[in-house]
Structures are given as C-alpha cells and as structure tokens.
Structure 1
Amino acid sequence: MRFKRQEPFRYQFGQPLPCTFRITRIGERQVETDKGAAEIHDISPRGIRMETSLNLPIDSAKGEIEVELQFTIVDQPMNVRGVVIWKKTYVNEFQYGLSLEISKQEEMLLIGEIKRHAAMYARRKESK
C-alpha cells in the first residue's frame, strides 16, 4: 500500500461527514453494488479518508477497487469517484484511503465547499 501526502492541504472534519458509496469497478470489471453508509474523516482535493462497517475486498488479486461517493459538505451535493489505495482494520470498522479521480472544475468546487465548511465551523466555535 502506498501513501500520497504531497497535497497542499488536508481538512479534518471536527465531526465526521456522513456519506454513501458504492463500488463501480473491481479491476477491469464494471460493477454496480448497493449503496453503503460511511463517514468521511478528512478530505483534500486529491483524497478522502473514510470509515465504514463494510469490509471491502481490497486485498484480493482481482485488481483495484473504484468507488463512487455521494456527500454534501455545506449545501452542495457532491458526487466523486476514487480508487481505494489503503485499508486499516479496527474492531468493528474499516478505514479506507481513497485517491480521488476528479476534474479541475470538480476540484475547485470541492475546495470552495471545504473553505465554506471551515469558515462556518470556526464561527460556531467562536460563538460558544
């Protein structure tokens, strides 16, 4: 497994962000699984760390797994694709690192939403 941390920033949510995901490809084979529930712990324009109770078969010899995630950061629904690059197993949960495959336009939209969320979160903390 490889790690890619040369990104300009990685935003860690104070409270994990709920999302849904489904597997769209395993190796060269296109698939369409049911949606699963997960939480996004941190995000960058190039990657996501998510946690779910579902055990994805990334250790198999069938090839890389591509997933499609749906989430809303502030009020903008996002639909992005990514490839699972690592997995960590905990007692009843699994964390996955995803490398996002997004366009420049989607990247700019994602950065804007992260900045809006960070500003709203900072204002909430100040008012307490």
Structure 2
Amino acid sequence: MKFRRQEGFRYTFGNPIDCLFKINKIEDLAVNTEYGEGQIIDISPSGIKMFSLLNLATHPKKMEIEVRFVIENHTYQIPGVIQWQKKEVLKSGYSYGIKLDPTEEIAKSIIEGLKRHAENSLKSKNSQK
C-alpha cells in the first residue's frame, strides 16, 4: 500500500519519545489487546512514524490502533490506522507509519506541544554549550 503524506510539516524528535499502543480492530473485527511499547520517531498532527520490537504483521489487513504518548506533560490518546510496516534489521524491530485521526482541538494541541518541545530542546542544547 502506497501512502503519500500531504501535511504541512513533520517534527522529528532528536530522541524518540516513548509511547504505548493497542490494537482495537483488525479489518471489521473488534479486538481488545494489551498495550505494547513503542517509540515515536516523528510526528505531525495527522500521523506518526513509530518503532516497536513487536511484529504486528499488518499486511494485507487493516489494523486500527490507539496510540498513547506524552509531549511536554500533556498526555494524548489518539486513534489511528497502520498504513505501512518496515522491518528494521539493525534495530531488530519494525517501523510503522500510522495515520492518526485526531479532533481539530487535539491536532492544535499537538502543534502547540511540539512548539514547546522544540523550544525546550533548543534551550537545553544552548545551555550545554
């Protein structure tokens, strides 16, 4: 499945942030899984690139998930759909492209949180010099 992003920006974390995720639906079948661990590599209001040691074997099934993460002391819990999966040989895990489905309010909150995160990261780098 090819996926072409259309958003205005994508923020890449210098150090990936931890996240939790669980599968809510496979195709049209509701499921209730435990939370798995992952790391968010980059993010936009409409999607994330996530790394996990878990192989979700998504192809060719549609897999709906819920992703939980924290940016600047604000916890987000957002539904999404896995668009692609890639084996990461050097990291012994998998990268996933996840299309998020946030409300407009949550999308704005993510943008504000990323602005604060970027400012704090820059301040931290400058204070280490």
Instruction: State the TM-score bracket (shorter-chain normalisation).
Output: over 0.9
CA RMSD, aligned part only? 0.9
CA distance in 2, matches of 1:116, 1:3: 29
**Secondary structure, in 3 states, of the residue corresponding to 2:7?**
coil
CA drift of 1:93 comes to 0.5
CA distance in 1, matches of 2:78, 2:15: 21
CA drift of 1:4 comes to 2.3
1:26-59 CA-partner distances (Å, limit 9, x unpaired) = 0111111011000000000110000001001211
What letter matches 2:75 in structure 1?
A: P
CA distance in 1, matches of 2:4, 2:100: 12
Unaligned ranges ≥5, structure 2: none
Query: What corresponds to 1:87 in structure 2?
Result: 85
Query: What corresponds to 1:59 in structure 2?
Result: 59
What is the TM-score normalised by the length of structure 2? Answer: 0.94
What is the TM-score normalised by the length of structure 1? Answer: 0.94
Question: How many residues are paired up?
Answer: 126
CA drift of 1:96 comes to 0.1
**Secondary structure, in 3 states, of the residue corresponding to 1:120?**
helix
CA drift of 1:126 comes to 1.1
CA distance in 1, matches of 2:28, 2:44: 26
CA distance in 2, matches of 1:45, 1:2: 20
Q: 15-24 vs 84-93, which deviates more?
A: 84-93
* Structure 1 residue runs of 4 or more that deviate by more than 2 Å after TM superposition: none
Determine what percentage of the aligned residue pairs are the same residue: 38
CA distance in 1, matches of 2:27, 2:100: 16
CA drift of 1:3 comes to 2.2
CA distance in 1, matches of 2:24, 2:50: 17
